[in-house]
Structure 1
């Protein structure tokens, strides 16, 4: 089916919130990783979110262009075309746009959506993330409101972040921040709800000990009760029916019990990147090591085209990434929840 519009995206999020599951939001960098994501959501009968980061967009544009915005546009257009062949709903999202990249990444994508709408075409992306978490809270909220106004006018959902996800991703390193910055306060959540909630629907990446990067299970110490306390504070301040749509970043190495607890407190989207990166690369390494004498032309030999043809190892990478993403659907309880053509 086509990439979802605003109303359909809202139905997806409502479905997740009401039934206490979350959508895997998988970072992609190429047509192959997009294909893997679409296959996984189809096989899991789960709607899902495909997202592009600044680094992913730059990679997707190729080393001859090196443009994060142009690459993101190309990857999004490819997703639009291929999503039509799958009976699940797909939302397109951009990940972690830090303040220094708003003008070179987010705004060109928004301008592309404006051009598409003028031509009678659907929005390029369904939602965008502005990550102003490194700024003082008042500056973060002020810029978020400015971008929220633009997004609301174009039927786009904005994701923001309060608190800081530790670790490093796409060259943005927050490993040196103080421990207290890794936890969103109830006051932060109330402020975000009050300032942005009156403008339209938004997603909040509230931090509760999350850390980007690679960790063994149990090494990431989460405090999901922070989300519970924040939601309770929002309900008390904004009304008993007010409940934020929360996003879980930096989940690699998290205990499954913590993940499930976070779903009970309103997490409707969880970013998946590190684990699917490894899943994509692992069978390629295996293929190269097992076929060393075939992928290289050693001592004048011609090698074996059947094993150095990128399609021979690319299919293995695609399938293994899809398998890992299907596991994420199971972990997040989204398997079998697709709204299909009902939206």
Structure 2
């Protein structure tokens, strides 16, 4: 039985292997491969991974490397170019990859809260604009950057449809999608419906080299319009059987690449110690269950992502990485860091920010260089980048390039 299931899954699961079969590669995950072996850009990473936006087979190779070497990539929610740039600045300093993550609300904010979001038009336009910004400047930072989108529930799928259309257009012109990956959070739906919808989208994603992140179970708390603060606690813990069902179904998509946001007590937001009961052992049990089902030599066949990580102990984070977590979402802590940078700037220059003219140096001294928005926003960027460097240390993502 094990051999039969393994034979069923081998073609599609190979999309996650460092050297996938020709049939899988030809699907768009490796469209740009040449007959000669490409020169390596980073000493410690596969040759497919270059500075700038990483998609398709290069993204699969990057996540494979993270799983094999035991580090996780920070996946950071952003709200504009200031937070995007802070992410890439941090990655440049800690010497590792970064995932820039757009939420539906973040995309709307980039487009402008004053414009109508009828039919998700602002969320779609703003997210696309943000992604294009990353594509234009990412190479300047010299690090691999993953352009990702966060939680998309069933009612929000038109948002993803709009972004997919933009990626298809970009792919037709460049051979690469605009977005590296999308997350579909259909955890409120029955398991079979959740995975069926994910599978239908993965079939579309695979054609242009986009990776799917899907959610099983529910991440508690509240984030960006998704409120699970009152959810039944039993739904915070995914079962190994559910993870295997998803793995088996999604592995049937030719050239499909996916990661799993399995719930193991995760909660969005930050809480006092002891208020969140994380059980990362669930991830280990799920890996073992899948391995036994398919008869695989790989003891971590599934790539997991960690949502709701703010406030988690370093011990829990690194224990989860050992179970195959290759990315952790970060939002609450970086929001605070950005604000704290602004607050500290105002406190330092308070007496220079009370009027356009007049400060402690004299009643006729101008203050323009202090209230120039770039000054306070830069302070926010620096504080956010510093917090992300600490996160990268916790995730063992420091100096993983060279």
- Whether TM exceeds 0.5 here: the answer is yes
CA distance in 1: counterparts of 2:134 and 2:54, whole angstroms: 11
Q: RMSD value over aligned CA atoms?
A: 1.8
With normalisation by structure 1, the TM-score equals: 0.94
Q: Does 1:224 align with 2:274?
A: no
| Deviation string, structure 1 residues 127-168 (Cα, Å, up to 9, x no partner) | 000000111111111111111111111111000000000000
Q: Which residue of structure 2 aligns with residue 76 of structure 1?
A: 131
Cα distance, 1:285 vs structure 2: 1.4
Q: Which residue of structure 2 aligns with residue 316 of structure 1?
A: 379
Q: Which residue of structure 2 aligns with residue 272 of structure 1?
A: 330
Q: Which residue of structure 2 aligns with residue 17 of structure 1?
A: 67
| Deviation string, structure 1 residues 166-214 (Cα, Å, up to 9, x no partner) | 0000111011111110001011111011000222220100010000012
Checking the alignment, whether the CA contact within 8 Å between 1:77 and 1:124 is kept in structure 2 is yes
Q: 1:155 aligns with which of 185, 189, 209?
A: 209
Q: Which residue of structure 2 aligns with residue 89 of structure 1?
A: 144
Q: Does 1:188 align with 2:251?
A: no
Matches within 5 A, 1:94-173: 94-103=149-158, 105-120=159-174, 122-173=176-227
Partner SS, residue 57 of structure 1:
helix
CA distance in 2: counterparts of 1:97 and 1:241, whole angstroms: 34
Partner SS, residue 74 of structure 2:
strand
Q: Does 1:327 align with 2:390?
A: yes
Q: Which runs of 5+ in 2 are unaligned?
A: 1-50
With normalisation by structure 2, the TM-score equals: 0.81
Please identify the structure whose Cα radius of gyration is greater: 2
Q: Which residue of structure 1 aligns with residue 290 of structure 2?
A: 234
Checking the alignment, whether the CA contact within 8 Å between 1:93 and 1:128 is kept in structure 2 is yes
Partner SS, residue 85 of structure 1:
helix
| Deviation string, structure 1 residues 233-290 (Cα, Å, up to 9, x no partner) | 1111122235101000000111111111101100001001111111111021122234
Cα distance, 1:308 vs structure 2: 1.3
Checking the alignment, whether the CA contact within 8 Å between 1:130 and 1:160 is kept in structure 2 is yes
Aligned residue-pair number: 338
CA distance in 2: counterparts of 1:20 and 1:79, whole angstroms: 27
| Deviation string, structure 1 residues 11-41 (Cα, Å, up to 9, x no partner) | 1101101011110111111111111111100
Q: Does 1:45 align with 2:99?
A: no
Cα distance, 1:307 vs structure 2: 1.8
| Deviation string, structure 1 residues 274-315 (Cα, Å, up to 9, x no partner) | 111111110211222343343233999887222211111111
